[in-house]
Amino acid sequence: MTSPLQRISDWYTNQPDKELKVDLAFLSGQFLPDVDEDALLDPDGKIADVFASYLSDRSLSNKEVAQRAFFVKALIEGTLTTRGTAEEWDKVKTTHETIRDNNPDETGIRLYNQFMSTYEQRKAAWIAWANEWQQQVNRYLIGRGIHNWYHSNR
């Protein structure tokens, strides 16, 4: 039986959009224990590798796998609450508009235009990924499912 942590890892690693993976890893990874700030802020997205490694640690006991699955599930759900719906993306857009309006210099406008250049694409990708996540949760990662996996693998 596939562990809940492996299911999370598969969901994460099967995402073909590296930028999405880096964004999720950054937003969630800042709460990982012992995360290196250099990895978190690395412009090449090193945090995505750190996050993937955290998900695929094979040295864990079954109890540690279940604990980590609960923890990571909470991190991902916390992140997806700000990226998983059109309404949340409208809030993100409004925030960027406010930043642009408060910084009408060339940098503020450039950053806003950069954000807007991929807005619809990023929004659709995040919402689709959040829906995939919800399917995983409903099928395998509800609290009872993680408990059942743990108790059947003791």
Position of tokens 């609450």?
Answer: 81
- At 76, the amino acid letter reads I
CA distance 126 to 102: 27
pLDDT score at 105: 87
Considering only 8-12, 65-69, 103-107, which range has the smallest mean pLDDT?
Answer: 103-107
* pTM for this entry: 0.89
pLDDT score at 141: 93
Mean per-residue pLDDT, 98-104: 89
pLDDT at 40 over 90: no
Mean per-residue pLDDT, 5-12: 97
pLDDT band at 1 (very low <50, low <70, confident <90, very high): confident
CA distance 21 to 52: 9
pLDDT band at 23 (very low <50, low <70, confident <90, very high): very high
Mean per-residue pLDDT, 4-14: 96
Q: What is the CB neighbour count within 10 angstroms for residue 113?
A: 10
- Annotate the chain with DSSP letters as a single string: ---HHHHHHHHHHT---HHHHHHHHHHHHTTSTT--HHHHH-TT-HHHHHHHHHHT-TT--HHHHHHHHHHHHHHHHHHHTTTSSHHHHHHHHHHHHHHHHH--SHHHHHHHHHHHHTHHHHHHHHHHHHHHHHHHIIIIISHHHHHHHHHHT-
Mean per-residue pLDDT, 89-100: 93
Q: What is the CB neighbour count within 10 angstroms for residue 75?
A: 21
